[in-house]
Amino acid sequence: MFKNRIALKLSSYFALALLVFSLIIGSVFLILFKNYTVELHQADLEKRAAGIAQTLSEFTSANGRQGGYGAYLRFIDDIAMTDVWIVDQNRDLITRGPGMGGMGKEYVYSDLPADADSVISDVFTGKTAFSEDFSTLLNAPTLTVGTPIIAANGEITGVVLLHSPIEGINKAISDGFTALALSILAALLIAFSLSIGFSISFTRPLNRMKSTALLLADGDYTAQTQIQQNDEIGDLAVTLDILSDRLKQASQDSARLEQLRRDFVANISHELRTPITVIRGSLEALYDGVVTDPEQVKSYQQQIMFEALFLQRLVGDLLDLSRLQNTDFEIEKQEINMAEVIDDVTRSMTSIADDKGIRMETTKDNSLEHIWGDYGRLRQMLMILLDNAVKFSPENGVVKLNLTNRVLSITDNGVGIAEENLPYIFDRFHTSRSEHNKSGTGLGLAIAKQIADRHDIDIIVESEPDVKTEFRLYFTGITNTTSGTK
Protein backbone atom coordinates (compact mmCIF):
# COMPACT_ATOMS: atom_id res chain seq x y z
CA MET A 1 0.00 0.00 0.00
CA PHE A 2 2.81 2.41 0.93
CA LYS A 3 4.35 1.93 -2.51
CA ASN A 4 1.14 3.29 -3.96
CA ARG A 5 1.92 6.97 -3.57
CA ILE A 6 -1.27 8.22 -5.18
CA ALA A 7 -3.41 6.07 -2.89
CA LEU A 8 -1.50 7.33 0.17
CA LYS A 9 -1.83 10.95 -0.93
CA LEU A 10 -5.52 10.62 -1.68
CA SER A 11 -6.14 8.93 1.68
CA SER A 12 -4.15 11.61 3.54
CA TYR A 13 -5.90 14.48 1.77
CA PHE A 14 -9.28 12.92 2.36
CA ALA A 15 -8.57 12.32 6.05
CA LEU A 16 -7.21 15.87 6.48
CA ALA A 17 -10.26 17.36 4.80
CA LEU A 18 -12.54 15.25 6.98
CA LEU A 19 -10.61 16.27 10.13
CA VAL A 20 -10.88 19.98 9.32
CA PHE A 21 -14.55 19.57 8.49
CA SER A 22 -15.13 17.63 11.74
CA LEU A 23 -13.35 20.28 13.83
CA ILE A 24 -15.42 23.04 12.29
CA ILE A 25 -18.67 21.13 12.71
CA GLY A 26 -17.62 20.02 16.22
CA SER A 27 -16.84 23.59 17.30
CA VAL A 28 -20.14 24.88 15.96
CA PHE A 29 -21.96 21.96 17.61
CA LEU A 30 -20.18 22.56 20.94
CA ILE A 31 -21.09 26.26 20.96
CA LEU A 32 -24.69 25.56 20.01
CA PHE A 33 -24.95 22.72 22.53
CA LYS A 34 -23.53 24.88 25.32
CA ASN A 35 -25.84 27.78 24.50
CA TYR A 36 -28.81 25.44 24.25
CA THR A 37 -27.99 23.75 27.58
CA VAL A 38 -27.53 27.09 29.36
CA GLU A 39 -30.72 28.48 27.85
CA LEU A 40 -32.60 25.34 28.85
CA HIS A 41 -31.25 25.57 32.41
CA GLN A 42 -32.06 29.27 32.56
CA ALA A 43 -35.59 28.60 31.37
CA ASP A 44 -36.02 25.92 34.05
CA LEU A 45 -34.66 28.21 36.79
CA GLU A 46 -36.81 31.08 35.56
CA LYS A 47 -39.90 28.87 35.65
CA ARG A 48 -39.15 27.69 39.20
CA ALA A 49 -38.27 31.18 40.38
CA ALA A 50 -41.48 32.56 38.88
CA GLY A 51 -43.47 29.82 40.64
CA ILE A 52 -41.82 30.59 43.98
CA ALA A 53 -42.39 34.34 43.50
CA GLN A 54 -46.05 33.70 42.70
CA THR A 55 -46.45 31.53 45.79
CA LEU A 56 -44.77 34.12 48.02
CA SER A 57 -46.89 36.87 46.49
CA GLU A 58 -50.05 34.94 47.29
CA PHE A 59 -48.77 34.18 50.79
CA THR A 60 -48.08 37.88 51.39
CA SER A 61 -51.53 38.85 50.19
CA ALA A 62 -53.17 36.23 52.41
CA ASN A 63 -51.32 37.35 55.57
CA GLY A 64 -51.78 40.99 54.75
CA ARG A 65 -48.25 41.95 55.51
CA GLN A 66 -44.81 41.93 53.90
CA GLY A 67 -41.87 39.87 55.08
CA GLY A 68 -44.02 37.33 56.90
CA TYR A 69 -42.78 34.39 54.85
CA GLY A 70 -39.41 33.74 56.46
CA ALA A 71 -40.73 30.65 58.27
CA TYR A 72 -41.50 29.05 54.95
CA LEU A 73 -38.04 29.39 53.36
CA ARG A 74 -36.85 25.99 54.51
CA PHE A 75 -39.90 24.41 52.89
CA ILE A 76 -39.31 26.45 49.73
CA ASP A 77 -35.68 25.23 49.59
CA ASP A 78 -36.90 21.66 49.72
CA ILE A 79 -39.53 22.32 47.06
CA ALA A 80 -37.12 24.25 44.77
CA MET A 81 -34.34 21.66 45.35
CA THR A 82 -31.83 24.52 45.51
CA ASP A 83 -31.00 27.66 47.51
CA VAL A 84 -33.65 30.39 47.56
CA TRP A 85 -32.80 33.86 48.82
CA ILE A 86 -35.27 36.65 49.38
CA VAL A 87 -34.52 40.37 49.20
CA ASP A 88 -37.34 42.52 50.58
CA GLN A 89 -38.26 46.10 49.77
CA ASN A 90 -35.73 47.36 52.30
CA ARG A 91 -32.96 45.52 50.48
CA ASP A 92 -32.58 43.14 53.41
CA LEU A 93 -31.33 39.68 52.48
CA ILE A 94 -33.18 36.83 54.11
CA THR A 95 -32.16 33.16 53.96
CA ARG A 96 -32.76 30.32 56.38
CA GLY A 97 -31.34 27.33 54.51
CA PRO A 98 -27.89 25.82 54.99
CA GLY A 99 -26.66 27.88 52.07
CA MET A 100 -24.19 26.97 49.38
CA GLY A 101 -21.55 29.00 51.07
CA GLY A 102 -21.53 27.18 54.39
CA MET A 103 -23.71 25.25 56.83
CA GLY A 104 -26.17 27.42 58.68
CA LYS A 105 -24.62 30.68 57.57
CA GLU A 106 -27.01 33.59 57.11
CA TYR A 107 -25.95 36.32 54.73
CA VAL A 108 -26.78 40.00 54.84
CA TYR A 109 -27.12 42.32 51.88
CA SER A 110 -23.66 43.75 52.40
CA ASP A 111 -22.21 40.27 51.92
CA LEU A 112 -23.42 40.13 48.29
CA PRO A 113 -20.92 40.75 45.46
CA ALA A 114 -20.58 44.23 44.03
CA ASP A 115 -22.37 43.37 40.78
CA ALA A 116 -25.30 41.84 42.63
CA ASP A 117 -26.83 45.25 43.26
CA SER A 118 -27.33 45.86 39.55
CA VAL A 119 -29.09 42.47 39.20
CA ILE A 120 -31.40 43.18 42.15
CA SER A 121 -32.04 46.71 40.90
CA ASP A 122 -33.09 45.31 37.50
CA VAL A 123 -35.45 42.86 39.17
CA PHE A 124 -37.08 45.68 41.23
CA THR A 125 -37.91 47.32 37.90
CA GLY A 126 -39.99 44.26 36.98
CA LYS A 127 -37.38 42.39 34.88
CA THR A 128 -36.05 38.86 35.24
CA ALA A 129 -32.26 38.90 35.47
CA PHE A 130 -29.51 36.27 35.32
CA SER A 131 -26.03 36.38 36.83
CA GLU A 132 -22.98 34.22 37.52
CA ASP A 133 -21.45 36.77 39.97
CA PHE A 134 -22.63 34.82 43.00
CA SER A 135 -20.18 32.00 42.24
CA THR A 136 -17.39 33.60 44.32
CA LEU A 137 -19.67 34.13 47.29
CA LEU A 138 -21.02 30.59 47.19
CA ASN A 139 -17.62 29.03 46.48
CA ALA A 140 -18.97 27.11 43.47
CA PRO A 141 -19.84 27.89 39.84
CA THR A 142 -23.41 29.10 40.15
CA LEU A 143 -26.12 30.42 37.89
CA THR A 144 -28.52 32.84 39.62
CA VAL A 145 -31.91 34.02 38.41
CA GLY A 146 -33.72 36.95 39.95
CA THR A 147 -37.53 37.24 39.73
CA PRO A 148 -39.73 39.99 41.23
CA ILE A 149 -42.38 39.21 43.86
CA ILE A 150 -45.41 41.19 42.71
CA ALA A 151 -48.31 41.87 45.12
CA ALA A 152 -51.95 41.90 44.10
CA ASN A 153 -51.86 45.67 43.69
CA GLY A 154 -48.95 45.37 41.24
CA GLU A 155 -46.33 46.56 43.72
CA ILE A 156 -42.98 44.73 43.76
CA THR A 157 -42.56 43.60 47.35
CA GLY A 158 -39.32 41.64 46.99
CA VAL A 159 -36.93 39.67 44.87
CA VAL A 160 -36.49 35.91 44.63
CA LEU A 161 -32.89 34.86 43.97
CA LEU A 162 -32.69 31.24 42.90
CA HIS A 163 -29.20 29.73 42.84
CA SER A 164 -28.28 26.58 40.93
CA PRO A 165 -24.81 25.04 40.53
CA ILE A 166 -23.59 24.86 36.94
CA GLU A 167 -21.21 21.96 37.42
CA GLY A 168 -23.90 19.78 35.89
CA ILE A 169 -24.05 22.01 32.82
CA ASN A 170 -20.28 21.94 32.39
CA LYS A 171 -20.26 18.18 32.89
CA ALA A 172 -22.98 17.75 30.30
CA ILE A 173 -21.00 19.93 27.90
CA SER A 174 -17.81 17.98 28.66
CA ASP A 175 -19.61 14.69 28.12
CA GLY A 176 -21.02 15.98 24.85
CA PHE A 177 -17.58 17.09 23.71
CA THR A 178 -16.10 13.72 24.66
CA ALA A 179 -18.82 11.91 22.73
CA LEU A 180 -18.25 14.21 19.77
CA ALA A 181 -14.48 13.65 19.88
CA LEU A 182 -14.93 9.87 20.03
CA SER A 183 -17.40 10.07 17.14
CA ILE A 184 -14.96 12.14 15.07
CA LEU A 185 -12.13 9.71 15.83
CA ALA A 186 -14.27 6.73 14.85
CA ALA A 187 -15.42 8.55 11.70
CA LEU A 188 -11.79 9.34 10.82
CA LEU A 189 -10.76 5.71 11.24
CA ILE A 190 -13.65 4.48 9.11
CA ALA A 191 -13.15 7.23 6.52
CA PHE A 192 -9.40 6.59 6.33
CA SER A 193 -9.99 2.87 5.84
CA LEU A 194 -12.60 3.53 3.15
CA SER A 195 -10.41 6.14 1.47
CA ILE A 196 -7.54 3.66 1.31
CA GLY A 197 -9.84 1.11 -0.32
CA PHE A 198 -11.24 3.65 -2.74
CA SER A 199 -7.79 5.01 -3.54
CA ILE A 200 -6.41 1.56 -4.26
CA SER A 201 -9.40 0.75 -6.48
CA PHE A 202 -8.85 4.12 -8.17
CA THR A 203 -5.13 3.59 -8.78
CA ARG A 204 -5.27 -0.10 -9.73
CA PRO A 205 -6.44 0.63 -13.31
CA LEU A 206 -3.84 3.42 -13.52
CA ASN A 207 -1.10 0.95 -12.60
CA ARG A 208 -2.45 -1.50 -15.18
CA MET A 209 -2.39 1.24 -17.82
CA LYS A 210 1.17 2.10 -16.78
CA SER A 211 2.21 -1.52 -17.26
CA THR A 212 0.50 -1.59 -20.65
CA ALA A 213 2.23 1.64 -21.69
CA LEU A 214 5.63 0.19 -20.69
CA LEU A 215 4.93 -2.93 -22.75
CA LEU A 216 3.98 -0.74 -25.71
CA ALA A 217 7.18 1.24 -25.24
CA ASP A 218 9.11 -2.04 -25.35
CA GLY A 219 7.48 -2.90 -28.67
CA ASP A 220 4.81 -5.35 -27.45
CA TYR A 221 1.87 -3.95 -29.41
CA THR A 222 -0.42 -6.82 -28.40
CA ALA A 223 -0.66 -5.45 -24.83
CA GLN A 224 -4.16 -4.40 -23.76
CA THR A 225 -5.44 -2.87 -20.51
CA GLN A 226 -8.70 -4.88 -20.59
CA ILE A 227 -10.26 -2.18 -18.38
CA GLN A 228 -13.99 -1.55 -18.68
CA GLN A 229 -15.18 1.41 -16.63
CA ASN A 230 -17.87 3.93 -17.43
CA ASP A 231 -15.80 6.97 -16.42
CA GLU A 232 -12.82 9.07 -17.47
CA ILE A 233 -10.37 6.34 -16.44
CA GLY A 234 -12.30 3.87 -18.59
CA ASP A 235 -12.17 6.34 -21.49
CA LEU A 236 -8.41 6.68 -21.04
CA ALA A 237 -8.02 2.89 -20.95
CA VAL A 238 -10.07 2.53 -24.14
CA THR A 239 -7.91 5.19 -25.79
CA LEU A 240 -4.78 3.30 -24.73
CA ASP A 241 -6.22 0.08 -26.16
CA ILE A 242 -7.02 1.90 -29.41
CA LEU A 243 -3.45 3.21 -29.46
CA SER A 244 -2.22 -0.36 -28.96
CA ASP A 245 -4.33 -1.57 -31.88
CA ARG A 246 -3.11 1.24 -34.09
CA LEU A 247 0.52 0.68 -33.13
CA LYS A 248 0.05 -2.99 -33.89
CA GLN A 249 -1.49 -2.13 -37.24
CA ALA A 250 1.27 0.40 -37.92
CA SER A 251 3.88 -2.20 -37.03
CA GLN A 252 2.29 -4.69 -39.40
CA ASP A 253 2.04 -2.03 -42.11
CA SER A 254 5.66 -1.09 -41.53
CA ALA A 255 6.70 -4.72 -41.84
CA ARG A 256 4.58 -5.09 -44.96
CA LEU A 257 6.04 -1.91 -46.46
CA GLU A 258 9.54 -3.09 -45.62
CA GLN A 259 8.79 -6.37 -47.36
CA LEU A 260 7.36 -4.46 -50.32
CA ARG A 261 10.51 -2.35 -50.43
CA ARG A 262 12.66 -5.44 -50.46
CA ASP A 263 10.46 -7.03 -53.10
CA PHE A 264 10.57 -3.79 -55.10
CA VAL A 265 14.36 -3.70 -55.01
CA ALA A 266 14.51 -7.38 -55.93
CA ASN A 267 12.02 -6.92 -58.77
CA ILE A 268 13.79 -3.84 -60.08
CA SER A 269 17.07 -5.70 -59.97
CA HIS A 270 15.51 -8.60 -61.85
CA GLU A 271 13.77 -6.39 -64.41
CA LEU A 272 16.93 -4.39 -65.04
CA ARG A 273 19.30 -7.33 -65.07
CA THR A 274 17.71 -9.10 -68.07
CA PRO A 275 17.68 -6.21 -70.56
CA ILE A 276 21.10 -4.97 -69.42
CA THR A 277 22.53 -8.47 -69.81
CA VAL A 278 21.03 -8.76 -73.29
CA ILE A 279 22.29 -5.32 -74.30
CA ARG A 280 25.77 -5.98 -72.94
CA GLY A 281 25.99 -9.40 -74.55
CA SER A 282 24.85 -8.07 -77.92
CA LEU A 283 27.25 -5.12 -77.77
CA GLU A 284 30.17 -7.36 -76.78
CA ALA A 285 29.39 -9.69 -79.68
CA LEU A 286 29.28 -6.75 -82.09
CA TYR A 287 32.35 -5.04 -80.57
CA ASP A 288 34.46 -8.19 -80.56
CA GLY A 289 33.48 -8.97 -84.14
CA VAL A 290 31.96 -12.30 -83.17
CA VAL A 291 28.95 -11.41 -85.31
CA THR A 292 29.85 -10.24 -88.80
CA ASP A 293 26.96 -11.38 -90.94
CA PRO A 294 24.87 -8.28 -91.87
CA GLU A 295 21.60 -10.02 -91.09
CA GLN A 296 22.85 -11.15 -87.68
CA VAL A 297 24.26 -7.69 -86.98
CA LYS A 298 20.87 -6.17 -87.77
CA SER A 299 19.11 -8.72 -85.54
CA TYR A 300 21.47 -7.89 -82.66
CA GLN A 301 20.87 -4.19 -83.18
CA GLN A 302 17.10 -4.70 -83.14
CA GLN A 303 17.41 -6.66 -79.91
CA ILE A 304 19.45 -3.86 -78.37
CA MET A 305 16.82 -1.32 -79.49
CA PHE A 306 13.97 -3.44 -78.09
CA GLU A 307 15.65 -3.79 -74.67
CA ALA A 308 16.53 -0.08 -74.61
CA LEU A 309 12.90 0.84 -75.27
CA PHE A 310 11.84 -1.54 -72.51
CA LEU A 311 14.22 0.14 -70.09
CA GLN A 312 12.88 3.53 -71.15
CA ARG A 313 9.30 2.42 -70.49
CA LEU A 314 10.31 0.87 -67.17
CA VAL A 315 12.01 4.06 -65.99
CA GLY A 316 9.06 6.15 -67.20
CA ASP A 317 6.56 3.90 -65.41
CA LEU A 318 8.62 4.02 -62.22
CA LEU A 319 8.71 7.82 -62.34
CA ASP A 320 4.95 8.00 -62.96
CA LEU A 321 4.20 5.61 -60.11
CA SER A 322 6.52 7.49 -57.77
CA ARG A 323 4.87 10.81 -58.58
CA LEU A 324 1.32 9.46 -58.19
CA GLN A 325 2.14 7.86 -54.84
CA ASN A 326 3.52 11.14 -53.55
CA THR A 327 0.63 13.04 -51.90
CA ASP A 328 2.44 16.34 -52.54
CA PHE A 329 2.35 15.74 -56.28
CA GLU A 330 -0.54 17.76 -57.69
CA ILE A 331 -2.44 16.43 -60.70
CA GLU A 332 -3.94 19.01 -63.03
CA LYS A 333 -7.71 18.76 -62.69
CA GLN A 334 -10.17 20.65 -64.85
CA GLU A 335 -13.68 20.24 -66.22
CA ILE A 336 -13.72 17.34 -68.70
CA ASN A 337 -16.15 15.08 -70.52
CA MET A 338 -15.36 11.42 -69.84
CA ALA A 339 -17.06 10.40 -73.10
CA GLU A 340 -14.42 12.37 -75.00
CA VAL A 341 -11.65 10.59 -73.08
CA ILE A 342 -13.18 7.24 -74.03
CA ASP A 343 -13.37 8.25 -77.71
CA ASP A 344 -9.75 9.45 -77.63
CA VAL A 345 -8.51 6.18 -76.11
CA THR A 346 -10.48 3.93 -78.48
CA ARG A 347 -9.11 5.82 -81.47
CA SER A 348 -5.55 5.38 -80.20
CA MET A 349 -6.05 1.65 -79.56
CA THR A 350 -7.76 0.94 -82.89
CA SER A 351 -4.55 0.25 -84.81
CA ILE A 352 -3.26 -2.13 -82.12
CA ALA A 353 -6.62 -3.90 -81.95
CA ASP A 354 -6.83 -4.18 -85.72
CA ASP A 355 -3.49 -5.98 -85.83
CA LYS A 356 -5.09 -8.83 -83.87
CA GLY A 357 -8.48 -8.53 -85.55
CA ILE A 358 -10.07 -7.42 -82.25
CA ARG A 359 -13.30 -5.48 -82.46
CA MET A 360 -14.02 -2.76 -79.89
CA GLU A 361 -17.65 -2.05 -79.00
CA THR A 362 -18.39 1.20 -77.16
CA THR A 363 -21.63 2.37 -75.55
CA LYS A 364 -21.88 5.43 -73.31
CA ASP A 365 -24.39 7.80 -71.80
CA ASN A 366 -23.97 11.45 -70.71
CA SER A 367 -23.62 10.73 -66.96
CA LEU A 368 -19.98 11.90 -66.94
CA GLU A 369 -20.25 14.91 -69.26
CA HIS A 370 -19.12 17.47 -66.63
CA ILE A 371 -16.66 16.09 -64.11
CA TRP A 372 -13.56 17.41 -62.40
CA GLY A 373 -10.44 15.45 -63.34
CA ASP A 374 -7.04 15.28 -65.02
CA TYR A 375 -7.64 14.51 -68.71
CA GLY A 376 -4.13 13.18 -69.35
CA ARG A 377 -4.06 10.91 -66.28
CA LEU A 378 -7.57 9.52 -66.89
CA ARG A 379 -6.59 8.84 -70.51
CA GLN A 380 -3.44 7.08 -69.26
CA MET A 381 -5.54 4.94 -66.90
CA LEU A 382 -7.93 3.86 -69.68
CA MET A 383 -5.02 3.23 -72.08
CA ILE A 384 -3.48 0.83 -69.55
CA LEU A 385 -6.76 -1.05 -69.04
CA LEU A 386 -7.59 -1.19 -72.75
CA ASP A 387 -4.02 -2.20 -73.67
CA ASN A 388 -4.24 -5.11 -71.21
CA ALA A 389 -7.68 -6.08 -72.57
CA VAL A 390 -6.40 -6.12 -76.17
CA LYS A 391 -3.10 -7.72 -75.24
CA PHE A 392 -4.64 -10.68 -73.41
CA SER A 393 -7.59 -11.16 -75.81
CA PRO A 394 -7.41 -13.87 -78.45
CA GLU A 395 -7.28 -12.91 -82.10
CA ASN A 396 -10.64 -11.85 -83.57
CA GLY A 397 -11.95 -11.27 -80.05
CA VAL A 398 -14.17 -8.47 -78.71
CA VAL A 399 -13.39 -5.75 -76.17
CA LYS A 400 -16.42 -3.91 -74.80
CA LEU A 401 -16.54 -0.47 -73.18
CA ASN A 402 -19.81 0.49 -71.49
CA LEU A 403 -20.50 3.73 -69.59
CA THR A 404 -23.82 3.79 -67.72
CA ASN A 405 -24.85 5.78 -64.66
CA ARG A 406 -21.28 6.86 -63.81
CA VAL A 407 -19.96 3.28 -64.04
CA LEU A 408 -17.48 2.36 -66.80
CA SER A 409 -16.84 -1.32 -67.53
CA ILE A 410 -14.10 -2.77 -69.77
CA THR A 411 -14.68 -6.41 -70.69
CA ASP A 412 -12.64 -8.89 -72.70
CA ASN A 413 -12.82 -12.65 -73.36
CA GLY A 414 -9.11 -13.36 -73.02
CA VAL A 415 -6.99 -15.65 -70.83
CA GLY A 416 -8.29 -14.04 -67.65
CA ILE A 417 -6.83 -13.87 -64.15
CA ALA A 418 -6.64 -16.75 -61.69
CA GLU A 419 -8.75 -16.22 -58.57
CA GLU A 420 -5.76 -16.46 -56.23
CA ASN A 421 -4.02 -13.66 -58.15
CA LEU A 422 -6.90 -11.17 -58.14
CA PRO A 423 -5.97 -9.51 -54.78
CA TYR A 424 -2.43 -8.77 -56.05
CA ILE A 425 -2.94 -7.54 -59.61
CA PHE A 426 -2.46 -3.88 -58.59
CA ASP A 427 0.86 -4.59 -56.83
CA ARG A 428 4.05 -3.42 -58.46
CA PHE A 429 5.78 -6.05 -60.62
CA HIS A 430 3.09 -8.60 -59.83
CA THR A 431 2.92 -9.72 -63.46
CA SER A 432 6.26 -10.46 -65.06
CA ARG A 433 6.76 -10.64 -68.78
CA SER A 434 5.02 -13.65 -70.28
CA GLU A 435 4.20 -14.94 -73.73
CA HIS A 436 1.25 -12.51 -73.86
CA ASN A 437 3.13 -9.61 -72.29
CA LYS A 438 6.72 -9.67 -73.43
CA SER A 439 7.11 -5.89 -73.30
CA GLY A 440 5.18 -5.30 -70.06
CA THR A 441 6.90 -3.73 -67.07
CA GLY A 442 4.48 -5.03 -64.44
CA LEU A 443 3.67 -1.46 -63.32
CA GLY A 444 0.72 -0.59 -65.55
CA LEU A 445 -2.12 -1.69 -63.25
CA ALA A 446 -0.33 -0.18 -60.23
CA ILE A 447 -0.23 3.18 -62.07
CA ALA A 448 -3.89 2.83 -63.11
CA LYS A 449 -4.88 2.16 -59.49
CA GLN A 450 -3.00 5.23 -58.27
CA ILE A 451 -4.72 7.43 -60.89
CA ALA A 452 -8.11 6.01 -59.86
CA ASP A 453 -7.39 6.66 -56.16
CA ARG A 454 -6.37 10.27 -56.88
CA HIS A 455 -9.80 10.74 -58.56
CA ASP A 456 -11.82 8.84 -55.89
CA ILE A 457 -12.66 6.14 -58.44
CA ASP A 458 -13.28 2.60 -57.16
CA ILE A 459 -12.07 -0.31 -59.31
CA ILE A 460 -13.67 -3.75 -59.06
CA VAL A 461 -12.23 -6.71 -61.01
CA GLU A 462 -14.03 -9.95 -61.83
CA SER A 463 -12.42 -12.65 -63.93
CA GLU A 464 -13.12 -16.19 -65.09
CA PRO A 465 -10.04 -17.64 -66.84
CA ASP A 466 -10.45 -18.17 -70.59
CA VAL A 467 -14.03 -16.85 -70.40
CA LYS A 468 -14.27 -13.20 -69.33
CA THR A 469 -12.42 -10.47 -67.45
CA GLU A 470 -14.22 -7.29 -66.43
CA PHE A 471 -12.83 -4.11 -64.90
CA ARG A 472 -15.59 -1.87 -63.46
CA LEU A 473 -14.74 1.75 -62.61
CA TYR A 474 -17.18 3.51 -60.28
CA PHE A 475 -17.06 7.29 -60.72
CA THR A 476 -19.54 7.87 -57.86
CA GLY A 477 -16.89 9.69 -55.80
CA ILE A 478 -15.72 12.07 -58.52
CA THR A 479 -16.93 15.68 -58.38
CA ASN A 480 -19.53 16.93 -60.86
CA THR A 481 -18.58 20.46 -61.96
CA THR A 482 -22.15 21.57 -62.78
CA SER A 483 -23.47 21.11 -59.24
CA GLY A 484 -20.34 20.59 -57.17
CA THR A 485 -21.73 17.26 -55.97
CA LYS A 486 -20.54 13.71 -56.36
Which residues lie closer than 8 Å to 216 by C-beta, 6 or more apart? 223, 243, 244, 247
For residue 411, pLDDT beyond 90:
yes
What is residue 81's predicted lDDT score, i.e. its pLDDT?
54
What is residue 103's predicted lDDT score, i.e. its pLDDT?
35
Domains along the sequence of the chain with CATH:
5-171 (3.30.450.20), 232-321 (1.10.287.130), 331-474 (3.30.565.10)
What is residue 77's predicted lDDT score, i.e. its pLDDT?
53
Are the CB atoms for 161 and 50 separated by under 8 Å?
A: no
User: Greater confidence, 325 or 24?
Assistant: 24
Highest-scoring range by mean pLDDT, 18-27, 98-107, 283-292: 283-292
For residue 107, pLDDT beyond 80:
no
Are the CB atoms for 86 and 187 separated by under 8 Å?
A: no
What is residue 401's predicted lDDT score, i.e. its pLDDT?
93
What is residue 100's predicted lDDT score, i.e. its pLDDT?
41
Distance of alpha carbon 174 from the chain centroid = 51
Which residues lie closer than 8 Å to 349 by C-beta, 6 or more apart? 360, 383, 386, 387, 390
Lowest mean pLDDT among 135-139, 337-341, 345-349: 135-139
What is residue 66's predicted lDDT score, i.e. its pLDDT?
46
User: Greater confidence, 374 or 85?
Assistant: 374
User: Greater confidence, 13 or 235?
Assistant: 235
Instruction: Return d(Cα 206, Cα 68) in angstroms, integer.
Output: 88
Mean pLDDT, residues 425-454 taken together: 69
pLDDT tens digit string along 190-215? 777 777 777 777 778 878 888 888 88
Percent of the chain with pLDDT over 70: 76
Identity at 53, one-letter amino acid code: A
* Beta-strand relationship, 371-373 and 359-364: unpaired
What is residue 432's predicted lDDT score, i.e. its pLDDT?
42
Mean pLDDT, residues 337-351 taken together: 88
pLDDT tens digit string along 152-194? 777 787 888 777 776 666 676 777 778 777 877 887 787 777 7
Check residue 66 and give left, alpha or beta (phi > 0: left; psi -120 to 50: alpha).
beta
Mean pLDDT, residues 323-329 taken together: 69
84, β-bridge pairs: 162
Mean pLDDT, residues 81-97 taken together: 66
For residue 108, the tally of other CB atoms under 10 A from its CB is 10
In what helix (H) or strand (E) does residue 372 lie, and over which residues does it extend?
strand 371-373
- If we measure between CA atoms, which residue out of 119, 122, 148, 121 comes closest to residue 133? 119
Percent of the chain with pLDDT over 90: 8
* Band of pLDDT at residue 409, cut at 50, 70 and 90: very high
Instruction: Return d(Cα 179, Cα 192) in angstroms, integer.
Output: 20
Mean pLDDT, residues 383-399 taken together: 89
Lowest mean pLDDT among 73-82, 221-230, 308-317, 431-440: 431-440
Lowest mean pLDDT among 229-243, 370-384, 406-420: 229-243
- Expressed in angstroms, the distance from the first to the final Cα of the chain is 62
